[in-house]
Amino acid sequence: VPPSAEESTALVAYGDMGIWENGVMVAQALSTFLSRTNSSSSSSSSSSSSSSSSSSSSSSSSSVEQPPASLVLHVGDLGYADGDPVKWDKFAAQVNPYASALPYMALPGNHDDLDGLSWRYNPRPFYRTFRWGRLRVIALNTEEVAGLQRDSAQYQWLVDTLESLEFEQPRPTVVVLGHKTLLTTSTGHGGGNVPLRDLLVPLLIKFKVAAYICGDDHGYERALLVHPESGTHTCLHLLVGSGGARLDDFVPEQPSWSVFRQKSFGFLRILSFATHVSAEFFAVSSPDVPPTVIDSFMISSGGPHSEVKVPVLLVVLSVLIIVSFSVYLFRACLRLSAVPLGRRSLS
């Protein structure tokens, strides 16, 4: 049963794992991490006196009690099987320790033959939505080009789903998942898929989606999708293609919309509480070293644009006050200068 909006829970997300050495490393590190943190959370909930000592010393950036993970999201490119059943079986054994213990949802990537994925992990159609804690998760299939265009069934379903959220109370924090990258400074695929960006970004902005989580490019980056007209940042773009495939480089220059980036393996943990949603990225560097938090941030239910509007509003109010005060002073000066002239005309 999915956790309710009032329950605290956690989700883990990553993409692009493969069955190479680094993919095995990340899978082992994640399995150990989930086993340790989930058992720690269980023991702390049963005994309040032990809650402070049950936290892992290096696995979290916060001293707040962490909820257990209840869902694993793999945003495409699972085992890079490309239709090879032997590779599929090897990948299944690799993720089995946690995929058999927790709900595990996988999206199609460009290296996942869709028949193999459908048979093993995700029945067709590959797009779906569900509520998980405070989150509303919307998973897309970005790999069948004809299946995600304005006249497609998936696109209409996406629009209908986003429109229906206006009536959902309490309003959830909406995250959209897809394999393909929309905007990135990674050199893996030329900065993101432009046709898909042009198709999705207007919807993400219009319906105040909090974050788009993807893979395809290999590494980690937290970026901000930019409104094409106002230029304000309205949605987080979280690249988590960090599951084990060979890492891509980033372009040397880092624009303002690229908030944090690192050429690192690892996974994203999203923490859903009754009052807010936060996230942290754990870097994995060695099978013998616990995952380490290298980035942590809040995920706003209305999107990051709410943080941008406040200073803009203050600027507008300040200008109005200055203009009004200037007009008042100008009129006062006119009245004062008119008094002596009036008196001289009467004498």
pLDDT value of residue 121: 73
Residues 118-152 as b or e (16 or more Cβ within 10 Å = b): eebbbeeebbbbeebbbbbbbbbbbbeeebbeeee
In the predicted model, is pLDDT for residue 335 greater than 90? no
Contacting residues for 175 by C-beta, under 8 A, at least 6 apart: 135, 136, 137, 138, 209, 210, 211, 212, 213, 270, 299
Give the residue ranges of DSSP H helices in 104-149: 114-120
CA dist., res. 14 & res. 19, Å (int): 14
State the pLDDT confidence band at 321, using cuts at 50, 70 and 90: low
218 vs 239: CA distance, rounded Å: 8
Structure tokens at 203: 């919807």
69 Cβ neighbours under 8 A, 6+ residues apart: 9, 10, 11, 12, 34, 37, 38, 102, 269
Q: How far apart are CA 256 and CA 210, in angstroms?
A: 19
Determine the Cα–Cα distance for residues 263 and 133; give it in Å rounded to an integer.
31
pLDDT band at 130 (very low <50, low <70, confident <90, very high): very high
> What pLDDT sits at residue 28?
96
Calpha distance 53→48 (Å, rounded): 10
* 185: CB partners within 8 A, 6+ apart: 191, 221, 223, 250, 251, 253, 254, 255, 258, 261
The mean-pLDDT minimum among 41-45, 54-58, 217-221 falls in 54-58
**Quick one: pLDDT at residue 235?**
92
Bridge partners (DSSP) listed for residue 278 = 271, 298
DSSP reduced 3-state for 81: coil
| Beta bridge mates, 299 | 277
Instruction: Characterise 262 by phi-psi region: left (phi > 0), alpha (psi -120 to 50), beta (else).
Output: beta
The C-alpha atoms of residue 165 and residue 53 are separated, in whole angstroms, by 40
* C-alpha to C-alpha distance for 105 and 76, rounded to whole angstroms: 10
Average pLDDT over residues 49-65: 43
Going by the DSSP 8-state scheme, the letter that residue 186 receives in this structure is B
Mean confidence (pLDDT) of the chain: 83
CA distance 208 to 227: 11
Distance CA 125, CA 108 (A): 11
In whole angstroms, what is the distance from residue 41 CA to residue 69 CA? 9
Across 250-274, average pLDDT: 96
% of the chain with per-residue pLDDT over 90? 63
**Residue 146 pLDDT grade (very low, low, confident, very high; cuts 50, 70, 90):** low
- Determine phi and psi for 151, rounding to 5 degrees: -100, 15
Query: Is residue 311 over pLDDT 50?
Result: no
Q: What is the CA radius of gyration of the chain?
A: 25
Most confident of 108-112, 224-228, 312-316: 108-112
> What is the number of helices (H) and of strands (E) in the chain?
6, 13
Mean pLDDT for 108-137 is: 84
